[in-house]
Structure 1
Amino acid sequence: MINIGGELTLPPLAEAVVDLDAIAHNTRVLASLTGADLLAVVKADAFGHGFLEVARTTLNAGARWLGVTSQAEALTLRAAGIGAPVLSWLHAPDEDFGPAIAAGVDLSVASVAHLRGVAAAAGRVGRRAEVHLKADTGLSRNGATDADWPELVRLARANELLGRIRVRGVWSHLAGGETSGDPRDDVQLRRFERALELARDGGLTPEIRHLANSAGLVGLPESHFDLVRVGIALYGPEPRADRQVGLRPAMTLRSRVILTKRVPAGTGISYGHDYVAPAATTLALVPVGYADGIPRIVAGRGEVWIGGRRCPIAGRVTMDQVVVDVGDLPVRTGDEVLLFGDGGRGEPVVSDWAGWAGTNPHEIFTGIGARVARRYLPVRSEQQNTGRERVHV
């Protein structure tokens, strides 16, 4: 329900139903695939699933760490009373790192400039910073290059001796990993091992080495090391096309019909009349659009579940609404519309939407807008903890 001004409560036009039991199940499944600790990636509002709800659920189900991109996200976890280890990894070098250091948040350091900023902030707040040095092993995104790595190691060790930082971890990120036999995996593994060797030679003794993402966890055991970072797999999509591990989709996106009308053959529908009814048909109006995360590009491809079967989106997706061609189905105002779910009834799943939009499930999840209400189904399983985790919630 949506509360307006603390007085009037209205039912939402659309809602994302998040099954926390599925999140817990996925966490346990992923933890069972490795002897390493699990870091649950909850950045971007837990991929649109709900930041604090997912963080607490994953910790209770076996995750040992949480991963975020920003100090703001990390400090929100701390303000909510979550004391588990948190790694924050995307920063400008001139940020004030003091709040994160004071809150006991681990910080990724990807360059000499970042290291200097963190060390200076540690001096100001009077607390040693816990850092993870990031090596660029082939993603060519964040992290120090092979050429810059020796200087980063040297400066890190110098600041350790001054008591400003401790290099708790060394890490990198896989560029491939979605299928078996990707030659980039071997290259990155060799480069990561070389970065670790140079760190040890430089006097560093990181206790945590981490490289694997969701795909690496499922299909590249050599990449597990001490910690694996799982993002998209927590939320249900299988991270590798060639191996299914029994993950459960955690989100159902649903709305309802707010208008129906019967139109004759030849009726043009939505802007530009890109879609013309091939026969007399019933149209159902659904109050979700691109402002809610429905990609415009799915016009002519996308389907929803309505009236017991899949029906096509008719014409262009607009800001607030889509039109669905339901043919001769007896669809009425108020009927449920499933945009995606777990596929159990034949409805589309998030991977269908990713395919129609030419993107990945990550973008579909994170694009679901603030107008879409979130509703949470609780953890139902008796077995929540793996027995080897320490829970800090």
Structure 2
Amino acid sequence: MTAAGSIPETAAGGILHVDLDALASNWRTLRDNASGAETAAVVKANAYGIGIEQAVPALAGAGCRTFFVAHLSEAIRVRSAAPGAAIYVLNGLFSGTGPTYAEFDLRPVLGSFEEIEEWAGFCRAQRRNLKAAIHVDTGMNRLGLTVPQGLTLRDRTELKDFETTLLMSHFVSAEESGNPLNGQQIEAFEAVRSSLPGIPASLPNSSGIFLADRPGYDLVRPGYALYGGNPTPDRVNPMKPVVGLEARIVQLRWVEADHTVGYNGRWLALARRRIATLSVGYADGFPRAASARGKSGDELLAGMTLVAGRPCPFAGNVSMDLITVDVTDVPENEIRRGDTVTLIGGDLTVDEVGRRAGTIGYEILTGLGSRYARAYHGGQG
């Protein structure tokens, strides 16, 4: 199905395919590996680029009852898509936003004494025992109470003014199964958790679910793995691909030997080469860092596409609206103007596309732009 308001495929430079059945299947796989803990879903950044309004009902249909977002505006969208769900806002409590949380039955993740005091004061003023999570930082050094602060929580009278429904922390390097930080964080979190008996606890993210020695606690919070990213980079990916991206060929041309392609002439044709120009660029979220610089035939870590099933390297810089690709090895009768080629799909997984752009698959997914036609498959029940 095509999303409401989506650009028609015939008018779009790129087509983003989203497999909602694969998304639901990935959630079930993660649930089955969660050692009995409740399995939530992180749907921040517009559900990692695929669309909150489409992803949340598919996940809820699979059995998900708890969602995490980064921003309050995202939480309101999730509430519309999942009326009965528990919804947490990870980026903390902004001053003065208590009424919005109360109106939409949302739960802030409180990461400082200031936030705890403000939420408690709001709850007292409302004479309501509203819900919230508390975040303790065990090593990330971004958000959250320090571990020493966390160990004093049991003495804070403000905790009587609201219902703490979750105590949580976040792994630094769970995708590195042998990193000693994992054990250190578990030990620190366990100390705080033990001082607050009776409060449900949450630590594992996508990769944390697959750590051999991780405690499941009461709730796990997968994100990236839901969308097909590999939570176990040192092993075969247990997740199904969710996203595919096709780009349309605008023009085909021959470039003669010793001519360059693209801005600043950074790619040189050593022999006559056939170039396909695709109607996708960095304005669509495809990173400029995937540009190919050097000479035709160089073994470069740069962008690739699949053209008529054949891998073809980028040629020159990725520009705002266009990508140029060397398709010389594709028989002329197998490719023509208007055809679509694969930018994400098959061997070009989101992890591989990220690697070729010198980044991570997370950035590829969350950067997926608004100019694509969006085709959603499955997710109807």
Is TM > 0.5 for Structure 1 vs Structure 2? Answer: yes
Aligned-pair CA distance for 1:151: 4.3
Letter in 2 for 1:287: S
Cα 1:112/1:53, change in 2 over 3 Å:
same
Query: How far apart, CA to CA, are the structure 2 residues paired with 1:69 and 1:214?
Result: 16
Deviations 1:220-273 (A, max 9, x none): 453310100000000112111234363111000111111111221112111111
Q: What does 1:78-93 correspond to in 2, within 5 Å?
A: 78-93=79-94
Residue matched to 2:297: none
Query: How far apart, CA to CA, are the structure 2 residues paired with 1:101 and 1:226?
Result: 25
Residue matched to 1:174: 171
Residue matched to 2:268: 276
1:362 counterpart = 2:354: no
Residue matched to 2:23: 23
SS in 1 for 2:246: strand
Q: What does 1:120-139 correspond to in 2, within 5 Å?
A: 120-139=121-140
Query: How far apart, CA to CA, are the structure 2 residues paired with 1:18 and 1:3?
Result: 14
Contact 2:57 2:82 survives alignment (8 Å) = no
Cα 1:146/1:2, change in 2 over 3 Å:
closer
Deviates more, 1:70-79 or 1:106-115: 70-79
Contact 1:38 1:229 survives alignment (8 Å) = yes
Cα 1:66/1:267, change in 2 over 3 Å:
same
Contact 1:281 1:328 survives alignment (8 Å) = no
Residue-pair matches, total: 367
Query: How far apart, CA to CA, are the structure 1 residues paired with 2:9 and 2:354?
Result: 33
Residue matched to 1:192: 189
Residue matched to 1:387: none
Aligned-pair CA distance for 1:108: 1.0
Percent of paired sites with the same residue: 31
Contact 1:135 1:143 survives alignment (8 Å) = yes
Contact 1:137 1:172 survives alignment (8 Å) = yes
Query: How far apart, CA to CA, are the structure 2 residues paired with 1:319 and 1:245?
Result: 32
SS in 1 for 2:229: coil
Residue matched to 2:298: none
Match of 1:340 among 330, 344, 353: 344
Contact 1:214 1:231 survives alignment (8 Å) = yes
Residue matched to 1:391: none
Aligned-pair CA distance for 1:80: 3.7
Q: What does 1:192-341 correspond to in 2, within 5 Å?
A: 192-200=189-197, 205-206=198-199, 208-220=200-212, 222-244=214-236, 246-300=238-292, 301-329=302-330, 330=332, 331-341=335-345
SS in 2 for 1:257: strand
Q: What does 1:93-112 correspond to in 2, within 5 Å?
A: 93-112=94-113
Contact 1:132 1:171 survives alignment (8 Å) = yes
Aligned-pair CA distance for 1:10: 5.7
Contact 2:19 2:242 survives alignment (8 Å) = yes
Aligned-pair CA distance for 1:284: 0.8
SS in 2 for 1:170: strand
1:371 counterpart = 2:371: yes
Give the RMSD, CA atoms, in angstroms: 2.3
Aligned-pair CA distance for 1:16: 1.0
SS in 2 for 1:173: coil
Query: How far apart, CA to CA, are the structure 2 residues paired with 1:146 and 1:319?
Result: 45
After TM superposition, the score normalised by the length of structure 1 is: 0.87
Query: How far apart, CA to CA, are the structure 1 residues paired with 2:95 and 2:119?
Result: 9
Cα 1:377/1:221, change in 2 over 3 Å:
farther
Query: How far apart, CA to CA, are the structure 1 residues paired with 2:3 and 2:66?
Result: 33
Aligned-pair CA distance for 1:375: 1.5
Residue matched to 2:51: 50
Query: How far apart, CA to CA, are the structure 2 residues paired with 1:235 and 1:18?
Result: 9
Query: How far apart, CA to CA, are the structure 1 residues paired with 2:308 and 2:73?
Result: 43
Cα 1:259/1:272, change in 2 over 3 Å:
same
Residue matched to 1:149: 150
Query: How far apart, CA to CA, are the structure 1 residues paired with 2:329 and 2:230?
Result: 36
Query: How far apart, CA to CA, are the structure 2 residues paired with 1:120 and 1:39?
Result: 29
Query: How far apart, CA to CA, are the structure 2 residues paired with 1:232 and 1:268?
Result: 38
